[in-house]
Amino acid sequence: MNARTDLMVIHSLLIDGRHVPPFLYGTAWKEDRTQRLTVLALNQGFRGIDTANQRRHYHEAGVGAAIAAAVEGKLVARSDLFLQSKFTFRRGQDHRLPYDPDAPVTVQVQQSFASTLDHLGTETLDSYLLHGPTRRTGLFPDDWEAWRAMESIHETGSVRLLGVSNFTLEQLQRLCQQARVPPRFVQNRCYAAQGWDRLVREFCATNGIVYQGFSLLTANAEVLASSELHRISKRHGRTVAQIVFRFATEVGMIPLTGTTNPQHMRADLDIWDFDLRPDEIERIARVNER
């Protein structure tokens, strides 16, 4: 175990008895590079891997091949890893479906989950997310049927934690009002112009939900170029990306990175030996906010 991995363990979150790494490696949009890059991320110290059974944007079987290679090479044990995947409705898929599109949603969730376990070569999944609701506002019968199916899988012990992705505050509130198994994660694209999704994060903080932020860099090009961020990065002797990721952890997020660069992977994880000042956190929180 290297120093970065040690620090990841120290800063891990305990959620329903499960240790969750404070930083996740995202595997979207990597296609035939998925296996190689996932192994590379594990070598750099990542122990949390995010994927989805959505062949349109993810190669989940490539993640599984990387995990098998890492375990066989004794780089990691399965118990060292936090594996997270997602169920994606038909509208988010291409023709390579992990389920029968004519089956009821409950069966689609069951088929997709079974396929995920097979892809990842595991008997249990650490976290399973609903990969976006069927519509931009509200929750509709298919959303509830998918969530109830996920709750049933959770009740078997095959998945430890449930969550959602790409949910608005209103949708999250509706879900929490009626869920038998409450979501433990919300994974959203995080825009600085929206206060880094402040309203959703505030709801999460008061309802036992952990916010996972993705596209922290790619969705915020203006912020990365801002004089404010550059002043703070210069003061700490860190890159702007490191400042953004450290900010994310200090306001209670689990950040995701999908970098393909090993130097950037190492830098992304080297954020635990400095702290941002309260005034710096406040300025970053409001930079570019509309």
Residue 243 has a pLDDT of 98
pLDDT higher than threshold 60 for residue 290: no
Into how many domains does the chain fold? 1
> 92-147: per-residue pLDDT in tens?
999 999 999 999 999 999 999 999 999 999 999 999 999 999 999 999 999 999 99
Of 288 and 266, more confident: 266
Q: Look up tokens 């062949």; give the residue.
A: 55
Q: What is the mean predicted confidence (pLDDT) over 19-26?
A: 97
The tokens of 53 are what? Answer: 């059974």
- Domain with 177, as residue range(s), is 3-286
- Cα separation, 101 vs 119, in Å, equals 19
Both tokens of residue 140? 């509709």
Q: Which of 1-10, 18-27, 68-77, 145-154 has the weakest average pLDDT? A: 1-10
Confidence of residue 8 (pLDDT cuts 50, 70, 90): confident
Residues in the chain: 290
Q: pLDDT tens-digit profile of 194-225?
A: 999 999 999 999 999 999 999 999 999 999 99
Residues 6+ apart with CB under 8 A from 7: 269, 272, 273
Q: Is the dihedral of CA 56, 61, 65, 67 positive or negative?
A: positive
Please report, for the domain that includes residue 106, its CATH number. Answer: 3.20.20.100
Q: From residue 86, give the alpha-carbon distance in Å to each of 117, 121, 216, 243, 281.
A: 11, 16, 20, 29, 31
Listing DSSP states for 246-271 in one string gives HHHHHTTEEEEE----HHHHHHHH--
pTM of the model: 0.96
Q: Could you tell me the two tokens for 101?
A: 């599109």
Backbone conformation region of residue 252, classed left if phi is above 0, alpha if psi is from -120 to 50, else beta:
left
**Cα(240)–Cα(236) distance, rounded to whole angstroms?**
10
When pLDDT is cut at 50, 70 and 90, the band that residue 7 belongs to is confident
Say yes or no to pLDDT of 184 above 80. Answer: yes
Distance CA 242, CA 265 (A): 11
What integer pLDDT is reported at residue 45 of this predicted model? 96
pLDDT surpasses 80 at 9: no
Per-residue model confidence (pLDDT) at position 78: 96
